[in-house]
Amino acid sequence: MNINPFEIACVILSGGKSSRMGEDKSLLPFSSSNSLIEFQFNRLKPYFKDIYISSKNDKFDFLKDKSKLILDKNQDIYSPILALQTILEKFDKVFIITVDTPLIKISSIKKLLKNSNNFDITIAQTSQRTHNLCGVFSNNLNETIEKMIKNDIHKINYLVKNSKYQIINFDDDNEFININNKNEYEKACNYKVIK
């Protein structure tokens, strides 16, 4: 099958503490892969012109090309805002997804990308919640992010509400499952990934 990759880079966020899981969820085995991050990286790679992993440190044995690793500038604080700051210094526009959202359909990503023009943030929403770290982000956010960091504000929702954003609705809550604990991990492991 010949795939036309999206003309945008994808960055998988994998720098969280995994405190609710009790261990680093990015390194848990998933599907036929040795780890969740390896699964997510290899699954999305054919669909994007470039794909990267954002993290606090290099903990990924499978990743041979270390240029695909974006390390947070600030190593002390765990914050997706700090990760976004580092990422958006490298890209004009980028698709962001977390490592713990492995079931999203490619067609859903396509819908987010298609509808992202003229907005600085385009994110997914289902009946259960808004998925603030699944969507398209523009480097027009850099100034707002700088101010947030200066004022010690690290909430993604604050960034969304203080930017030119739009929310795209999706019906399937399961494809946006967020793996934060053992029950969600088991549920995701038993769910069939659909393109």
Choose among 10, 38, 18: nearest CA to 137.
10
**E strand segments, the chain:** 6-13, 48-55, 69-71, 93-98, 121-125, 130-138, 165-169
13 is in an annotated binding site: yes
15 is in an annotated binding site: yes
18 is in an annotated binding site: no
Q: What is the C-alpha to C-alpha distance for residues 144 and 138, in angstroms, rounded to an integer?
A: 11
25 is in an annotated binding site: yes
Report strand pairing: 6-13 vs 48-55.
parallel
Contact (CB, 8 A) for 102 and 141: no
Which residue carries 């604990």 as its tokens? 181
58 is in an annotated binding site: no
Per-residue DSSP letter, 92: S
Q: What angle (nearest 5°) sits at the alpha carbon of residue 55, between those of residues 53 and 60?
A: 65
Cite the annotated binding site by residue number.
13-15, 25, 72, 100
**Binding-site residue set for GTP:** 13-15, 25, 72, 100
Which residues fall in the annotated binding site for Mg(2+)?
A: 100
